[in-house]
Structure 1
């Protein structure tokens, strides 16, 4: 191979070939050459002698030129021009350049066509595939959804797919009498046996080896034959049931006790050879540890525990006994020895231990725990106190063993003398003393431990427990504590004091909590950040359930900033949720005193009094509100509503007459018209409406009322004219367009209804309700017997989702317009577009309801109401579910929640809630009326 003659040997060299030119060599000329092989640098003053490479200067010049040329040539590895710059440009080079240029021009033309959209469909597909490479499951997602509509007969009639290529080849070979077509390869015996074993039936089954002996459903109980495949599926199902019992469906966490699980692992015995080998290896290592360093106590403990794990308890006791002899001053070794021995033997071990370690508190406490007789326990602990008199743990154990408070008090008196720096002993003694003696004890404790805040807090709590009015004393104690600690360098900061306040509230000392907040609220806090910081602290306290702490924070903040409305609103919200009607009333009275121009405080106060049945007190507050805000529309409307809700229509009519003169707003005129409609006086309502429209022609609700009044007397022409005038003056009023379209549909002119809805969408783009009415119109026009979506409905729905892709109300409609097999896929797409839409969540709950998954439906109803409790349709759907499938308790729960939320919106809710015939009925009755109109999902 290596001695073969190369094919280029003996052949003429290419034109202008210079050996080694690519590696930087420089050619030279002879008489037979036409010219120089390579251009060199300027000759300079040396003339022709430099071109011949004569002399040292000429060689240096050539070397510098070569270095510059090589640097320029190798600067870009992809640029090969420098290698062939000296070669001639021949005809084949020119042809190649033309071919490459033609290819580039063709490719650029194709790209231009794809960019402008003028290319073929195949090219567009290629371009789309080049721009975006969708995954396989994304390409066939629509086809997979269509598979849901395939029936069982169609599935069963699908032909089997075979090796068509192989069949065609074999048929051709048979036709041609090819002997290779009859060849076959025998299957090995082991493959046959393995297949027989995998598909065969066992004839015996050990009930003790499998917990499914009582449930051999797949097999034959008489013959004992069991299908292993079905048996495996049954075992998998049983395992899933067992895991479900151990799982917490609410929190998603396991309910297995980890401590009990570890305890169970300790009882396992070593069985496998690998475990035995590991124990032998560990025993050898630990023997080396104890031999080389016998004074190392952890080595002895590890060796003893190894023997215990191996099941050799006697050997473990022997090992730990040697450890006690080798390390008599290690309390861990003695405690391990006591643990490994029985109780009586453990007592002997500990008695030997205290001889070597008489000052060990842990050994004495273990000795006390081993005793079962209370007298012996007291004797042991007193002996321990004689040897270790300054141990707080021993004194606490001794006090806990005393049943007589007098003996405990004597022990604590002695304990605080011997351990004066233990605050918990002082506090325990103060709890056992009387009030006067406790004050003396706490005073002594403050002198002994001047930096202990627990003692000061105990003093304040002691004062709070006394009868009478202890607020002053509690406040004095806390203020003195803060002053003392400030002189000593602020032992506790503001956040730590607030934590102590929360702890005092939880222990049942609200006065101490309030005193701490009042005394420490401004510690280390800039005046500019006080208000925001206090509000944040109050919200954090409410999250922890500390209502008194938050109330104290708001009270102090209000005293500091009495004219700030946000503080009053936050405090009022706190009292409404966690306080009493009296506390809220008192707070609102103070609020209107400092902020009389804030209408909301007056309205809140009147509403709270009205809800508790104090109508006269509510009128009195509104009267004061009129004095402070004579031109306030909100206060006039609140007073009118108060009279109307109590069925005092004459009083309401008088108030409205005054309000039309004083305030003279569009809403007051509308309320006057509504009052006449409620009292069934349409002529008076029309008279007021005519005057109101003359004064406020651009108030859309007046035009709506006029159209509804005309519809009630079946004057469709007048109603159509009212809606037309309203749409002309108020083109942005979407309800007017909807009412006009519904009027035309009821009049039997769906073409006009479509035109009105389309014009409304042009003037009010991206309005989901207009698209929804158009979808409903096409659905009704397609007929009630039509089970599939009509082409017109499908077209309107697709356009609506394109213009309003994040409208949950449209996605909810699309889910139930699709066939049943496609609804789940549509709901998944909808959740991607509108993950937090309450209307869509209600639709998904209805979808689960249709599949009889009632618990999931209730969960989704609750999620929707958490996002928007004002959605009356959600409450109605949930109540309908409970009426059909719930219990009286769940129905009452929904009714109470709806009454508390008092919803006002919803496609199904508003027509019934705003009907004048339903004025003044409770929310529960409105809920029942809406639920009657609902048809359960199918």
Structure 2
């Protein structure tokens, strides 16, 4: 029974299940039951308003937009189905992967790569001999690009073609014969065969059959008129490209390539090629001239200017530069500038003379004769005429109103020296050195001239300049010293002796000249001559402490202790007399040297007497306190030595050696606690003292307090941020991962410090980078040649890593430098047993000490 039509939109009863009466209770859908919403209080309003079951109907998913109205149900369902898919996929994964692997293997076996096909043959290449390798032919061009299909076949040439070729070769058509000339036919066949062979030879791998020089002529007459000529251009372009790529330093190849592009109408490409050629072949004048021709006229001058800068002695380029100028005045200036670079060029002189008027030409030729005539006279042996010719010539030029260019004439003097005309060089310098220089600026200007000439290697010109300076400034000590140092560096021993003899003659009150003269005699092995010079110096400058000490050193170093004693006794007597008269006079070193002599002779009591006597006169001279304390230590009187050091510090509180000596003595007597107290007091009395900070750091490190040593070093770098010795210690103490950061910080703070450069050298040495290590260690000795510790490290490095020549060269330079300072160097050089040892022996002993120190450090590390 059907319900009335009017009730279709009515809401169904509560708990109504569609089809329940027909036995459909097992499965119902939302489309059957409608919205699953329970009626609550207030739903009567909905009943009254009416209910439309299709109000939420979706055409795709039905009522309530899907099976589950809530989105949480949808997410839960998706998650469940995903788990199911993963489970099923894991069951089939192994079978699927094995099947895919089998398919890939079958495909690779049926379609192997080219490299895999020859694996077995490649393995056999190991057994091939050199002869078999040489027999392998070169690979050719087997590509299919730009090749015709099939084989090129050759057949007999038709007689008509040969007859046509014969006719084209003949010049006299009046005698043409109707019979075929077999000789001409043969020549035509030969010509065609030669053309074929040329084509074949062009394709030979590695063979270039184009002569680039020949192309320079052919390309100028080439005119493109047909496709065949265009093809020839392409072939020539490829061949010239090969030429400039295989040999980029071959200038004719670049010129030919540029001209080919010019003929082809590609002028920009030609300019680009010739510009590249100028960069590859800057010393070839033809490339620059070709570039000058190809570029825009506005750029030609700039190009030729770069050319003459690259090749300043090229006459051809200077002439080209002159032709670019349209004004005769400017052209003449260009040529004269070229003459400054090439003064003996006949071509340039001729061009300059042609541009000048008659009077200017005479002056130019007169100047040329002025530079040539003295050389000719000197070559003939008439050196007395050289100076007169130069003076007269310059006077004549000045009379004509010619301005004398001092710089140009100085260059002329250097040119004369290079030509071997020393007398001409000296005459030119003497004549023009004072021109254009104010009197008050002369000595400074002349020293600058001498320095520049010395840098350029013009030794005779420099010597002539110093001669002129000495002639005008005989009473200046610096003049004599610079001249003597120049002769010592570049002259002979005789020339040096000559300068020094003149120096002490004109400047008898200059101690430094007497001392230098005596030292050079001593170094030459002439001790009596050195002794005589010092006696003359004492007569010229009585009561001179420097001369007395030099005389003492001469006798002491030559194992003459009694002579040394007598000199020092006389010096002490004079010193006491002068001090009694309240005259200012040094003298403290006299007592120090006197004590050194007695210490070497083993007279301890006399040494103590002299030190006590010296301290009465000079209580603020810390070296006397230091020597007295060391004397007490050597005799085992440690408490007395402590008293001496403490008393010395009351008079010399800023003496770092006294503080360090007291700290070392406290370490021997009382241990580390006293050392800390001493060094703390020392740092408070002497703030920002890197040596005292470093001593504290080392003391803590040796005592095993590594953490305390690191803290002290950090505080030290805060107080002394630019100390090289502290940064060097920081580099050595830094752990390996932090060394790079520490070295960067050290370099930024004090990059030119010799301690830092030496530390860098040792670091590179440790990392087996020998070239960098050698460079840094050599830089250290260059920065501080008087510090023996750096020489010791460098010599040890060369002994272990260098050649025999290298370590001998280091030894020679060290002896010449005469180092005197350095913590480890002074400890060895000032020992009693090494007082007369040469520098070579001191260097070797210091290296031995470094090796022993490394062994001890290694043993302590293992312990």
Normalised to the residue count of structure 1, the TM-score between the two structures is 0.55
Could you tell me which of 368, 375, 382 is aligned with 1:461? 375
Question: CA 1:698–1:499 in structure 2 vs 1: closer, same or farther (change >3 Å)?
Answer: same
**How far has the Cα of 1:807 moved from its partner?**
0.9
Conserved 8 A contact 2:417-2:461: yes
The equivalent of 2:187 in structure 1 is none
Matched, 1:801 2:712: no
Q: 1:881 aligns with which of 792, 797, 812?
A: 797
For the residue of structure 2 that corresponds to 1:670, the secondary structure is helix
Secondary structure at the aligned position of 1:545 is classed as coil
Residue 677 of structure 2 is matched in structure 1 by 755
Matches within 5 A, 1:104-123: none
1:776 aligns to what? 698
| CA shift in 2, pair 1:807/1:454, >3 Å | same
The root-mean-square deviation of aligned C-alpha atoms, in Å, is 4.2
How many angstroms does 1:522 deviate by?
1.4
The answer as to whether partners of 1:640 and 1:656 remain within 8 angstroms in 2 is yes
Aligned to 2:649: 727
What corresponds to 2:138 in structure 1? none
Match of 1:646 among 533, 558, 571: 558
> Do structure 1's residue 310 and structure 2's residue 226 form an aligned pair?
no
Task: Answer yes or no: is the 8 Å Cα contact 2:363–2:397 preserved in 1.
Answer: no
Partner residue, 1:567: 479
1:849 is matched with: 765
Distance 1:464 1:703, change over 3 A: same
Q: 1:823: how far off?
A: 1.9
Which residue in the other structure is 1:483 paired with?
Answer: 395
The 1:910–1:460 alpha-carbon spacing in structure 2 relative to 1, beyond 3 Å, is: same
State the match for 1:839 in structure 2: 755
User: Once the 2 structures are TM-superposed, how far is the Cα of residue 223 of structure 1 from its aligned partner?
Assistant: 11
Counterparts in 2 of 1:895 and 1:314: CA distance versus 1, 3 Å: closer
- 1:655 maps onto 2:573 in alignment: no
Indicate whether 1:632 and 2:544 are aligned. Answer: yes
| Contact 1:446–1:455, Cα closer than 8 Å, also in 2 | no
Q: CA deviation at 1:176?
A: 9.5
Relative distance call for 1:537 and 1:315 in structure 2 (3 A) is closer
- Cα offset for 1:427? 13
Q: Check conservation: 1:174, 1:181, Cα contact below 8 A.
A: no
The offset of 1:547, in angstroms, is: 1.1
1:515 aligned partner: 427
Counterpart CA distance in 2 for 1:474 and 1:682 is 69
Distance in 1, matches of 2:528 and 2:408, equals 47
Cα deviation code 1:469-520 (max 9, x no counterpart): x332111111112111212223541111001111111121111111100001
The question of whether the paired residues in 2 share the 8 Å contact of 1:562 and 1:594 is answered with yes
Query: 1:606 aligned to 492, 513, 518, which one?
Result: 518
Answering whether residue 606 of structure 2 is matched by residue 684 of structure 1, we say yes
The residue aligned with 1:540 is 452
Cα distance change of structure 1 residues 749 and 313 upon mapping to structure 2, 3 Å threshold:
closer
Superposed CA offset, 1:511-545 (max 9, x none): 11111000011112221211111111111101101
Deviations 1:326-350 (A, max 9, x none): xxxxxx99xx99x99xxxxxxxxxx
Whether the 8 Å contact between 2:454 and 2:462 is mirrored in structure 1 is: yes
Structure 1 residues 258-292: Cα deviation after superposition (integer angstroms, max 9, x where no partner) = xxxxxxxxxxx99xxxxxxxxxxxxxxxxxxxxxx
Consecutive unaligned residues of structure 1, counting only runs of 5 or more, are 1-172, 187-191, 208-212, 225-268, 271-296, 317-331, 341-361, 363-391, 394-421, 429-444, 783-788
SS at match of 1:503: helix
Q: Is the 8 A contact 1:841 1:861 kept in 2?
A: yes
Distance in 2 separating the partners of 1:840 and 1:773: 18
Give the CA deviation at 1:448. Answer: 6.1
Distance 1:612 1:306 in 2: 81
Mapping 1:787-826, distance limit 5 Å? 790-826=706-742
Cα distance 1:519–1:313, how it changes in 2: closer, same or farther (>3 A)?
same
Higher relative contact order (CA 8 A, sep 6+): 1
CA, structure 1 residues 929+176, in 2 after alignment: closer, same or farther (shift >3 Å)? farther
**Cα offset for 1:830?**
0.8
Cα shift readout 1:402-442 (whole Å, capped 9, x = no counterpart): xxxxxxxxxxxxxxxxxxxx9866999xxxxxxxxxxxxxx
Q: Pick from 628, 653, 659: which aligns with 1:737?
A: 659
Tell me whether 1:928 sits opposite 2:850 in the alignment: no
Quick check: 807-816 or 746-755, which moved more? 746-755
* Displacement of 1:682: 1.3
1:713 to 628, 635, 638: 635
1:670 to 592, 597, 600: 592
Tell me the SS of whatever aligns to 1:934: helix
TM-score by length of 2: 0.59
Pair 903,447 (structure 1): closer, same or farther in 2 beyond 3 Å:
same
- Structure 2 residue runs of 5 or longer lacking an equivalent are 1-74, 90-99, 126-201, 204-217, 241-254, 264-284, 286-314, 317-342, 350-358, 577-586, 859-863
**Structure 1 residue runs of 4+, over 3 Å off?**
173-184, 200-207, 219-224, 297-309, 312-316, 422-428, 445-452, 935-938
Alignment deviations for residues 808-851 of structure 1 (CA, whole Å, 9 cap, x no partner)? 11111111112223222211211111100111111111111111
Cα distance per residue 1:203-245 (max 9 Å; x no partner): 44599xxxxx9xx9xx996599xxxxxxxxxxxxxxxxxxxxx
Q: Distance in 1 between matches of 2:723 and 2:680?
A: 18
1:509–1:313 CA distance, 2 compared to 1 (3 A): same
Distance 1:802 1:466, change over 3 A: same
Which range moved further: 657-666 or 756-765? 657-666
CA offset at residue 655 of structure 1? 0.3
* Stretch moving more, 836-845 or 449-458: 449-458
1:795–1:425 CA distance, 2 compared to 1 (3 A): closer
Distance 1:502 1:712 in 2: 63
Maintained 8 Å contact 1:677/1:685: yes
1:694 aligns with 2:616: yes
